[in-house]
Chains A and B, each alone.
Chain A
Amino acid sequence: MSKAFIPYIMCGDPDLETSEKLIASLVEAGADAIELGIPFSDPVAEGPVIQAASSRALQQNVDANALFSLVEKVRKTYTIPLYVMTYSNVVFAYGIEKFVQRMQEVGLQGLILPDVPYEEKEEFDAICRKYQIDLISLITLTSSSRLEKIAKKARGFLYCVSSLGITGTRASLHEEIFDVIEQARDYTPIPCLIGFGISNAQQARQMARKSDGIIIGSAIVQLCEKYGREAPEPVHLFAKSIKEALTM
């Protein structure tokens, strides 16, 4: 049996054509879902790797509409669940309802907004529910007293942040998040996936031990940065090694 693997790529890094190929290479490598980033000028939850990817994508004028067209193309071939990750102002400026409606039309499954905590989610979630889009809830090492209310209202999967701080690879990962996940399971039956900081097969296996799967962003974006248009092949190999590590 295998645990879930969700890779992240920034749309339009280095260009939209490559993004399409990257999605194909990730599907072929066995990814269970894919997170697609829409760049934002000031991504406060991101480390330097995804910040730089955001800047590169913004230079390509990548926006919400570019992502929607990309997904329309991908949907002709693949049925893999796709999630959008961006910041609230991108959705707000587009018009929340218009944005979520477009998500449904092109076949996206969920929305991840790292700057929208439980307290502010209803503004977005009421509309997401209307269009059957999952607004993903995040829990962190500091969520303990907030866990019950967050988990009870979570849909799709629970995004469990491995460590304090922002996205980016980490030399070592602590297992404190396992306790948080264990508590969360009392309140929700949905899968608990761990993200932030995971960068190799060994860490993926370690983090999947007591969760339902893992999310990898910066390590993949680093490959995109290094190989540019040639990234689909190395990304495929990397993703395959992760998926294999998760198959136990």
Chain B
Amino acid sequence: MTKGRFGIHGGQYVPETLMHALEELEAAYTHYKEDPAFQEELTTLLKEYANRPSPLYFAKRMSEDLKGAKIYLKREDLNHTGAHKINNVLGQALLAKKMGKKRLIAETGAGQHGVATATAAALFGMECVIYMGQEDIVRQALNVYKMKLLGAEVVSVTSGTATLKDAVNEAMREWTRRIEDTHYCLGSVMGPHPFPSMVRDFQAIISKESKEQILEKEARMPDAIIACVGGGSNAIGSFYHYIDEKEVELIGAEAAGRGIDINETAATMAVGKLGIFHGMKSYFCQDEKGQIAPVYSISAGLDYPGIGPEHAHLADQGRAKYVPIKDDEALEAFQYVSKIEGIIPAIESAHALAYVKKLAPTLGKDKVLVVTVSGRGDKDCAALARYQGEEIYE
């Protein structure tokens, strides 16, 4: 088997022009991963700049209200820039800097990864260009403003469906044009090797912390970990240190959009099949001829037709399970958690919370769930208000 495989998934399906850059990246990452000075620098940044460790918060009112399992929230929403994305971006930007790159490019869907990348570029004094689908630019105007404020150029992508997958296409095209001084800061556990492993390593801090935190609070392993899945970076980060703890159930909540039985969905595990796209073999939403399907979700961050190769492998093995959550269920959870806990979650994270809302009441009070609140919902308020027919000015 070729490099970077998770079972049959993964690999490096990219144009020859990019192979040298991937080899260079892999060599640098392999070196710095074991370099104590690099790790120390990253740890300090995560602590002092990004506000880690993120708290593991016992959601007392939610647990009481749902009359079942104890629910803990892993508060990635409290990170600097408001989501888990910063964990990966600080790692990659620091690595790019060590490699002598002067420029960061990235794709973004909801804008969270774009904001995080623009932030890291500002921090390290690097140039930054963010590729964002035209559709998403409209849905996420506040994040577009933030990226510009941070000094990044935001390129509107109009090709294809003008959403996240097209932003990835355009960022990859730009990378092939300019690989010498540019690092492509991919935002999820997807794409060609070494990205799925490298991004997972940077996000694994979520489960490294949560494991210590839950042991301290409950003196035992949780019964299940729940996280939302688009490409799957916060989910793999939330799962990683529990993969070998076989008694811990791993559950990814996918965006079902308007439903998996109609063609307006982004739930790859529910409707996708094996294919090759964006540099990797994995499951993708596609038609019978291999054309990548337009996907839909209320959440711009989960609106992606594929899933990271490690998730595909965890699913094949039956180690993790993936459940589809509809727009309306996510929206309801978004409002519910806001009211009952005083925490406004990102609409992406609300997919995971929606599943917890269904799961917790079916479990006994002795059960413990850890759900990752991958980001905060400020960015979603205007769009969700519009969705419900209320016009507000940002």
Contact = CB atoms under 8 A, between A and B. Distances in A.
B338 interface: no
Interface string A128-161: 0000000000111111111000100000000001
A87 B284 CA distance: 15
A190 interface: no
A45 B15 contact: yes
Given A92-B275, A115-B276, A41 B16 contact: no
Given A93-B288, A93-B290, A142-B20, A41 B160 contact: yes
Nearest to B12: A119
Contact of A93 (B11, B159, B173, B286): B286
B323 interface: no
Interface in B1-58: 2-3, 11-21, 23
Most buried by A among B159, B160, B274, B289: B289
B98 interface: no
A164 interface: yes
Nearest to A141: B17
Contact of B14 (A117, A143, A166): A117
Contacts of B13: 88, 115-117, 120
Given A42-B169, A117-B14, A120-B11, A58 B291 contact: yes
B292 interface: yes
Nearest to A121: B2
A51 interface: yes
B263 interface: no
A93 B276 CA distance: 9
A138 B16 contact: yes
Contacts of B275: 89, 92-93
Contact of B19 (A42, A89, A93, A118): A118
Contact of B290 (A44, A89, A115, A117): A89
A34 to B, nearest CB: 22
Interface stretch (B126-134, B175-183, B231-239): B175-183
Contacts of B172: 44
Contacts of A164: 17, 176-179
Interface residues of A, number: 40
A41 B20 contact: no
A88 B276 contact: yes
Nearest to B172: A44
A92 B11 CA distance: 15
Contact of B21 (A64, A142, A144): A142
Contacts of B292: 41-42, 89
A153 B91 CA distance: 37
Interface in A55-102: 58, 63-64, 87-94
A136 to B, nearest CB: 11
B15 A117 contact: yes
B369 to A, nearest CB: 37
Most buried by A among B14, B16, B172: B16
Contacts of A115: 13-15, 276, 279
B172 to A, nearest CB: 5
A119 B15 contact: no
Given A138-B16, A142-B17, A41 B291 contact: yes
Contacts of A187: none
Given A41-B292, A88-B13, A143 B165 contact: no
A234 interface: no
Contacts of B176: 45, 164-166
A90 B290 contact: yes
24 contacts: A41-B291, A42-B165, A42-B169, A44-B172, A88-B276, A89-B276, A89-B277, A89-B290, A90-B289, A90-B291, A92-B290, A93-B288, A94-B289, A120-B2, A120-B11, A138-B16, A142-B17, A146-B16, A150-B16, A164-B176, A164-B177, A164-B178, A165-B17, A165-B178
Given A41-B292, A93-B288, A142-B20, 6 more contacts: A44-B278, A92-B274, A114-B15, A115-B15, A120-B11, A120-B13
Closest 7 CB pairs of A and B: A93-B290, A165-B177, A142-B20, A89-B290, A41-B291, A88-B276, A140-B17
Interface of B: 2-3, 11-21, 23, 159-160, 165-166, 169, 172-173, 176-179, 274-279, 284, 286, 288-292
Interface of A: 40-42, 44-45, 47-48, 51, 58, 63-64, 87-94, 114-120, 138-146, 150, 161, 164-166
